[in-house]
A and B are shown apart, each in its own frame.
Chain A
Amino acid sequence: DAKTTQPNSMESNEEEPVHLPCNHSTISGTDYIHWYRQLPSQGPEYVIHGLTSNVNNRMASLAIAEDRKSSTLILHRATLRDAAVYYCILRDYPGTASKLTFGTGTRLQVTL
Protein backbone atom coordinates (compact mmCIF):
# COMPACT_ATOMS: atom_id res chain seq x y z
CA ASP A 1 0.00 0.00 0.00
CA ALA A 2 1.23 3.48 -0.83
CA LYS A 3 2.24 5.46 2.23
CA THR A 4 0.86 8.75 3.51
CA THR A 5 2.59 11.29 5.76
CA GLN A 6 0.70 13.64 8.05
CA PRO A 7 1.73 16.00 10.84
CA ASN A 8 1.26 14.44 14.27
CA SER A 9 -0.84 17.28 15.61
CA MET A 10 -2.38 20.63 14.74
CA GLU A 11 -4.26 23.29 16.65
CA SER A 12 -7.02 25.58 15.57
CA ASN A 13 -9.28 28.19 17.06
CA GLU A 14 -12.99 27.62 16.93
CA GLU A 15 -14.80 29.03 13.91
CA GLU A 16 -11.59 29.39 11.94
CA PRO A 17 -10.71 27.33 8.85
CA VAL A 18 -8.38 24.38 9.25
CA HIS A 19 -6.15 22.94 6.56
CA LEU A 20 -4.93 19.42 7.27
CA PRO A 21 -2.13 18.37 4.89
CA CYS A 22 -1.26 14.91 3.65
CA ASN A 23 1.71 13.87 1.53
CA HIS A 24 1.49 10.78 -0.65
CA SER A 25 4.39 11.00 -3.06
CA THR A 26 4.20 7.33 -4.10
CA ILE A 27 0.52 7.44 -5.03
CA SER A 28 -0.42 5.36 -8.05
CA GLY A 29 -2.89 6.20 -10.77
CA THR A 30 -5.60 3.95 -9.31
CA ASP A 31 -5.30 5.17 -5.71
CA TYR A 32 -8.22 7.13 -4.32
CA ILE A 33 -7.54 9.55 -1.45
CA HIS A 34 -9.87 8.98 1.50
CA TRP A 35 -10.16 10.84 4.75
CA TYR A 36 -11.60 9.43 7.94
CA ARG A 37 -11.66 10.90 11.41
CA GLN A 38 -11.94 9.36 14.85
CA LEU A 39 -13.62 11.33 17.57
CA PRO A 40 -12.69 10.51 21.17
CA SER A 41 -14.06 7.16 22.33
CA GLN A 42 -15.68 6.42 18.96
CA GLY A 43 -14.93 4.39 15.87
CA PRO A 44 -13.61 6.18 12.79
CA GLU A 45 -16.06 7.93 10.50
CA TYR A 46 -15.82 8.73 6.81
CA VAL A 47 -15.20 12.34 5.90
CA ILE A 48 -14.55 12.62 2.17
CA HIS A 49 -12.71 11.04 -0.74
CA GLY A 50 -11.47 11.97 -4.22
CA LEU A 51 -9.31 10.92 -7.14
CA THR A 52 -8.09 13.97 -9.07
CA SER A 53 -10.56 16.81 -8.78
CA ASN A 54 -11.31 18.84 -5.68
CA VAL A 55 -14.36 17.59 -3.79
CA ASN A 56 -16.84 19.22 -1.44
CA ASN A 57 -19.42 17.75 0.89
CA ARG A 58 -21.34 18.90 3.93
CA MET A 59 -18.46 18.03 6.27
CA ALA A 60 -15.38 19.28 4.44
CA SER A 61 -13.54 20.00 1.22
CA LEU A 62 -10.70 18.02 -0.28
CA ALA A 63 -8.09 19.83 -2.36
CA ILE A 64 -5.86 17.55 -4.42
CA ALA A 65 -2.59 18.77 -5.92
CA GLU A 66 -2.28 18.63 -9.69
CA ASP A 67 0.45 15.96 -9.48
CA ARG A 68 -1.61 14.10 -6.81
CA LYS A 69 1.41 13.81 -4.55
CA SER A 70 -0.33 15.73 -1.78
CA SER A 71 -3.80 16.70 -0.65
CA THR A 72 -5.39 18.96 1.94
CA LEU A 73 -8.54 18.40 3.97
CA ILE A 74 -10.26 21.70 4.65
CA LEU A 75 -12.68 22.25 7.50
CA HIS A 76 -14.21 25.61 6.72
CA ARG A 77 -15.20 26.55 10.27
CA ALA A 78 -13.79 24.34 12.97
CA THR A 79 -15.95 23.62 15.99
CA LEU A 80 -15.13 21.88 19.25
CA ARG A 81 -16.88 18.81 17.83
CA ASP A 82 -14.22 18.60 15.10
CA ALA A 83 -11.50 17.74 17.64
CA ALA A 84 -10.42 14.30 16.48
CA VAL A 85 -7.66 12.29 14.84
CA TYR A 86 -7.82 12.72 11.07
CA TYR A 87 -6.52 9.94 8.85
CA CYS A 88 -5.52 10.31 5.21
CA ILE A 89 -5.75 6.92 3.48
CA LEU A 90 -4.99 5.72 -0.03
CA ARG A 91 -7.27 3.07 -1.40
CA ASP A 92 -6.42 1.10 -4.48
CA TYR A 93 -9.62 0.60 -6.44
CA PRO A 94 -10.60 -2.07 -7.09
CA GLY A 95 -7.53 -3.85 -5.80
CA THR A 96 -7.85 -4.40 -2.08
CA ALA A 97 -11.57 -4.61 -1.49
CA SER A 98 -12.61 -2.83 1.68
CA LYS A 99 -9.26 -2.84 3.47
CA LEU A 100 -8.28 0.52 4.93
CA THR A 101 -4.62 1.05 5.83
CA PHE A 102 -4.51 3.68 8.55
CA GLY A 103 -1.39 5.71 9.30
CA THR A 104 -0.77 7.63 12.50
CA GLY A 105 -3.05 10.50 11.52
CA THR A 106 -3.16 14.13 12.68
CA ARG A 107 -4.61 14.95 16.07
CA LEU A 108 -6.59 18.18 15.71
CA GLN A 109 -7.12 20.25 18.80
CA VAL A 110 -9.77 22.99 18.64
CA THR A 111 -9.81 25.71 21.26
CA LEU A 112 -12.23 28.50 22.10
Chain B
Amino acid sequence: KAGVTQTPRYLIKTRGQQVTLSCSPISGHRSVSWYQQTPGQGLQFLFEYFSETQRNKGNFPGRFSGRQFSNSRSEMNVSTLELGDSALYLCASTRTSGGQYNEQFFGPGTRLTVL
Protein backbone atom coordinates (compact mmCIF):
# COMPACT_ATOMS: atom_id res chain seq x y z
CA LYS B 1 0.00 0.00 0.00
CA ALA B 2 1.38 3.42 -0.94
CA GLY B 3 2.62 5.58 1.90
CA VAL B 4 1.97 9.24 2.63
CA THR B 5 3.13 11.42 -0.23
CA GLN B 6 4.04 15.09 -0.05
CA THR B 7 4.62 17.51 -2.87
CA PRO B 8 6.78 19.25 -3.66
CA ARG B 9 9.75 17.75 -1.85
CA TYR B 10 11.81 20.93 -2.05
CA LEU B 11 10.78 24.53 -2.41
CA ILE B 12 12.59 27.85 -2.42
CA LYS B 13 10.65 31.07 -1.86
CA THR B 14 11.45 34.65 -0.96
CA ARG B 15 10.21 36.66 1.98
CA GLY B 16 6.68 37.97 1.59
CA GLN B 17 5.58 35.29 -0.85
CA GLN B 18 3.06 32.61 -0.03
CA VAL B 19 3.36 28.87 -0.45
CA THR B 20 1.03 25.87 -0.66
CA LEU B 21 2.15 22.37 0.30
CA SER B 22 0.23 19.23 -0.49
CA CYS B 23 -0.21 15.93 1.32
CA SER B 24 -1.91 12.75 0.12
CA PRO B 25 -2.64 10.36 3.01
CA ILE B 26 -2.58 6.59 2.89
CA SER B 27 -5.68 5.25 1.19
CA GLY B 28 -8.49 4.88 3.73
CA HIS B 29 -6.96 7.30 6.21
CA ARG B 30 -9.20 10.22 7.05
CA SER B 31 -7.07 12.22 9.47
CA VAL B 32 -4.15 14.37 8.34
CA SER B 33 -1.83 16.26 10.68
CA TRP B 34 0.90 18.75 9.83
CA TYR B 35 4.14 19.36 11.70
CA GLN B 36 7.00 21.83 11.34
CA GLN B 37 10.56 20.69 12.07
CA THR B 38 13.40 23.17 12.60
CA PRO B 39 16.82 22.71 14.24
CA GLY B 40 15.94 25.22 16.93
CA GLN B 41 12.38 24.25 17.84
CA GLY B 42 12.33 20.59 16.86
CA LEU B 43 9.09 18.97 15.75
CA GLN B 44 6.03 21.11 16.42
CA PHE B 45 2.39 20.31 15.74
CA LEU B 46 0.63 22.71 13.36
CA PHE B 47 -2.90 21.34 12.95
CA GLU B 48 -5.00 18.28 12.29
CA TYR B 49 -7.83 17.79 9.84
CA PHE B 50 -10.42 15.05 9.96
CA SER B 51 -13.36 14.76 7.58
CA GLU B 52 -12.59 18.21 6.14
CA THR B 53 -12.75 19.86 9.59
CA GLN B 54 -9.89 21.21 11.65
CA ARG B 55 -9.84 19.15 14.87
CA ASN B 56 -6.81 20.56 16.64
CA LYS B 57 -4.47 23.49 16.20
CA GLY B 58 -0.97 24.19 17.47
CA ASN B 59 0.49 27.48 18.57
CA PHE B 60 1.29 29.07 15.23
CA PRO B 61 0.28 32.47 13.80
CA GLY B 62 -2.68 32.84 11.49
CA ARG B 63 -0.35 32.98 8.48
CA PHE B 64 -0.37 29.19 8.70
CA SER B 65 -3.58 27.65 7.48
CA GLY B 66 -4.77 24.40 6.03
CA ARG B 67 -7.67 22.57 4.54
CA GLN B 68 -8.74 19.07 3.71
CA PHE B 69 -10.66 17.88 0.69
CA SER B 70 -13.37 15.25 0.46
CA ASN B 71 -10.83 12.68 -0.72
CA SER B 72 -8.82 13.34 2.50
CA ARG B 73 -5.98 15.05 0.65
CA SER B 74 -4.78 18.08 2.55
CA GLU B 75 -3.00 21.32 1.77
CA MET B 76 -1.31 23.77 4.05
CA ASN B 77 -0.66 27.37 3.15
CA VAL B 78 1.79 29.84 4.60
CA SER B 79 1.26 33.47 3.64
CA THR B 80 3.70 36.37 3.90
CA LEU B 81 6.67 34.10 4.33
CA GLU B 82 9.36 34.97 6.85
CA LEU B 83 12.93 33.72 7.05
CA GLY B 84 11.99 31.75 10.18
CA ASP B 85 9.49 29.70 8.21
CA SER B 86 12.35 27.80 6.62
CA ALA B 87 11.78 24.27 7.84
CA LEU B 88 10.89 20.72 7.00
CA TYR B 89 7.11 20.42 6.88
CA LEU B 90 5.84 16.95 7.65
CA CYS B 91 2.45 15.49 7.07
CA ALA B 92 1.09 12.45 8.94
CA SER B 93 -2.03 10.41 8.37
CA THR B 94 -4.07 8.09 10.55
CA ARG B 95 -7.18 6.05 9.92
CA THR B 96 -9.35 8.02 12.33
CA SER B 97 -8.89 10.95 14.67
CA GLY B 98 -7.65 10.28 18.16
CA GLY B 99 -7.67 6.83 19.68
CA GLN B 100 -4.86 5.02 21.41
CA TYR B 101 -4.29 2.64 18.53
CA ASN B 102 -3.87 5.35 15.96
CA GLU B 103 -0.37 4.96 14.70
CA GLN B 104 0.60 8.01 12.69
CA PHE B 105 2.27 7.47 9.34
CA PHE B 106 4.55 10.29 8.27
CA GLY B 107 5.48 11.40 4.81
CA PRO B 108 9.03 12.34 3.77
CA GLY B 109 8.34 16.04 4.21
CA THR B 110 8.67 19.19 2.13
CA ARG B 111 11.86 21.16 2.68
CA LEU B 112 10.98 24.88 2.44
CA THR B 113 13.73 27.45 2.21
CA VAL B 114 12.83 31.13 2.51
CA LEU B 115 15.40 33.59 1.17
Separation of A44 and B109 alpha carbons in the complex (Å): 10
Closest to A41 in B: B108
Separation of A105 and B48 alpha carbons in the complex (Å): 22
Separation of A41 and B111 alpha carbons in the complex (Å): 10
Separation of A51 and B99 alpha carbons in the complex (Å): 13
Q: Of the candidates A43, A93, A99, which one forms a contact with B106 in the assembled complex, judged by CB atoms under 8 Å apart?
A: A43
Question: A101 contacts the other chain (Cβ, under 8 Å)?
Answer: yes
Known: A43-B90, A43-B109, A94-B98. A99 touches B48 (CB 8 A): yes
Most A CB contacts (10 A, CB to CB) among B94, B104, B108 go to B104
Q: Among residues 42 to 61 in chain B, which have CB atoms less than 8 Å away from a CB atom of chain A?
A: 42-45, 48, 50, 55-56, 58
B33–A98 touching, CB < 8 Å: yes
Q: How large is the interface on A (under 10, 10 to 19, 20 to 34, 35 or more residues)?
A: 20 to 34
Number of interface residues of B (CB under 8 A): 28
Question: B72 contacts the other chain (Cβ, under 8 Å)?
Answer: no
Closest to A49 in B: B100
Q: Among residues 74 to 112 in chain A, which have CB atoms less than 8 Å away from a CB atom of chain B?
A: 87, 91, 93-94, 96-105
Question: Which residues does B use to contact A, with CB under 8 Å?
Answer: 4, 31, 33, 35, 42-45, 48, 50, 55-56, 58, 90, 92, 94, 97-100, 102-109
Question: Which residues does A use to contact B, with CB under 8 Å?
Answer: 32, 36, 41-46, 49, 51, 87, 91, 93-94, 96-105
